[in-house]
A and B are shown apart, each in its own frame.
Chain A
Amino acid sequence: MSEPESGPPIARRVMLSMLGLGAAGIAAAPFVQNGWERVLGAVSQHDPTGLSGLLPNPGGFRYYSVTASVPRKTAADYRLEIGGLVERPGTYTLGDLRALPQTRIVGEARCTDGWRVPDVPFAGVLLSDLLDAAGVRAEGRAVRFTCFDGVYTESLTLEQARRADVLIALDMLDEPLTHEHGGPVRLYVAPMYFYKSAKWLSGISVTDKVIPGYWEEYGYDVDGWLDQEA
């Protein structure tokens, strides 16, 4: 059978061009990415429709939940339990936490999925204050966090947990934390990737060793330092 159609191999050329463009994109990414994010951030800030949320890197937060739905908690029914290897296990209401000395940290929220939001103010109680109040026993080495979504967990070593930039956050962007952002209370671990900053925090338990958290069971770094990779 003779070829019914002949001529230059257009599809192959388009395919190879696309692959070449992709390789060029990977090479150029470190240089063009910031500009791209700035453009998308500017677009999403002047967008009453919210459709720019469809764009990659909309310059804002994205909503992540590992469960189908998360119960809503308010000041009336929110409780934070502290237990494990401590001298004085206890329970805090939202009012109790608001009554403690508050610390404000302005930091970056950076997700492993490539989006980041710079200069986000978080405010709340230093985790180290709560640990001191509960009295960590000598065999305590790490802290495990549980959440009222019923599934998510996180972990820090005791040394990390005592840092001055690790917060039990009650406010974000100088407003009380909303449910979508993990309210009424979430963890904020400023020097680490945002998956370490567990949302909907309901339990703090001191343990004798690090128990890997939810995403860490799926291969994420247990120590999610921001400066490990760009």
Chain B
Amino acid sequence: MTSTAGSTRRPESLLRRFSRGERLVHRSIATLMSLCAGSAACLYFPPLAQLVGRRHLVVVVHEWSGLLLPAPVLLGLASRAFRADLRRLNRLAPYDGQWLRAVRRGTPGPRPAGKFNAGQKIYAGWIAGAVPLMTFTGLLMWFTGALPAISRASAIFVHDVTAFAIAVVVLGHIRLAYRDPEARRGMRTGSVTTAWARKNHPQWAEEPGRRRTDSSKCAPRCSGGDASSHAEGR
């Protein structure tokens, strides 16, 4: 799948986007989120509840998948690549405003973005706030009376409303991935084509460090390059 070192004239030039550790973090979160949301649906939606039954088992799956949801992120902090991407996700670059305006107006014009576009940055921050909120309110429902100041009804209310919001947002996340096979490939294999990166993440594709790595490896006009050279360059 990835090109071999030195083969810069392949028909498809690839950029390294995600390390093995980062992909493992994503896959673990996706699995846990599927379990958590799927079991929630079986607890909530009457036809599914009638189909599945086994309420106690479903409750246990929901509680533990939810509780473990932040674990892949915490373990991922051991990875330098993951920490670097968290830093990128956190920072709103000047061109991100342009991306947001373009998306809001639905104009076809240029949508500048670094490794992550402004939407991905907001999504990451939102879900990073929503999950602890679900953990907190979920624990209050699990251990009733742990905090007497907060009634169980209040915890359930926030848990339910936030769950609804997460369902909408995560379905949107999946829909965008479904519409872009190349983005999915980046998360599956770790690499994307340079053409895709230039179109969707131009500021990332053209980063000075990246270009220097390329030019040191191949001809001056070449800004593509193979995956392994980028792994070293980063």
Contacts and interface: CB of A to CB of B under 8 A. Distances in A.
Contacts of A7: 91-94, 96
Nearest to B59: A218
A26 B55 contact: no
Contact of A229 (B54, B130, B152): B152
Interface string B97-113: 00000000000000000
Interface string A200-219: 00000000000000000011
Given A18-B129, A22-B129, A4 B49 contact: no
A79 B152 CA distance: 38
A10 B99 CA distance: 14
A69 to B, nearest CB: 6
Interface string B151-194: 11111111011111000000000000000000000000000000
A91 to B, nearest CB: 27
Contacts of A30: 151, 153-154
A218 B56 contact: yes
Q: Give the one of B91, B122, B136 with max A CB within 10 A.
A: B91
Contacts of B90: 9-12
Interface residues of B, number: 57
B157 A10 contact: no
A133 interface: no
Interface stretch (A55-63, A93-101, A139-147, A155-163): A55-63
A155 B177 CA distance: 51
A64 B133 contact: no
B6 interface: no
B50 A180 contact: yes
B71 interface: no
A5 B91 CA distance: 6
Contacts, number: 154
A76 interface: no
B217 interface: no
A25 interface: yes
Q: Give the one of A9, A10, A55 with max B CB within 10 A.
A: A10
A66 B55 contact: yes
B153 A56 contact: no
B192 to A, nearest CB: 17
Interface string A23-55: 001100110110010000000000000000111
Nearest to A114: B156
Contacts of B150: 26
B124 interface: yes
B209 A15 contact: no
Interface in B31-66: 43-47, 49-50, 52-56
B89 interface: yes
Contacts of B125: 10-15, 18
Interface string A114-133: 10000000000000000000
17 contacts: A5-B114, A5-B115, A6-B93, A7-B93, A8-B92, A10-B91, A11-B121, A12-B90, A15-B128, A22-B137, A26-B158, A33-B153, A61-B46, A62-B46, A114-B156, A230-B151, A230-B153
User: 7 nearest interchain CB pairs?
Assistant: A18-B129, A14-B125, A56-B160, A11-B125, A114-B156, A29-B154, A10-B92
Given A11-B89, A25-B162, A68-B54, 17 more contacts: A3-B87, A4-B209, A5-B87, A5-B203, A6-B91, A14-B126, A15-B125, A15-B126, A18-B126, A18-B128, A22-B162, A25-B157, A26-B154, A29-B154, A30-B154, A65-B53, A114-B156
Interface of A: 1, 3-19, 21-22, 25-26, 29-30, 32-33, 36, 53-57, 61-70, 112-114, 180, 218-219, 229-230
Interface of B: 43-47, 49-50, 52-56, 87-94, 96, 114-115, 118, 121-122, 124-126, 128-130, 132-133, 136-137, 141, 144-145, 150-158, 160-164, 203-204, 207, 209
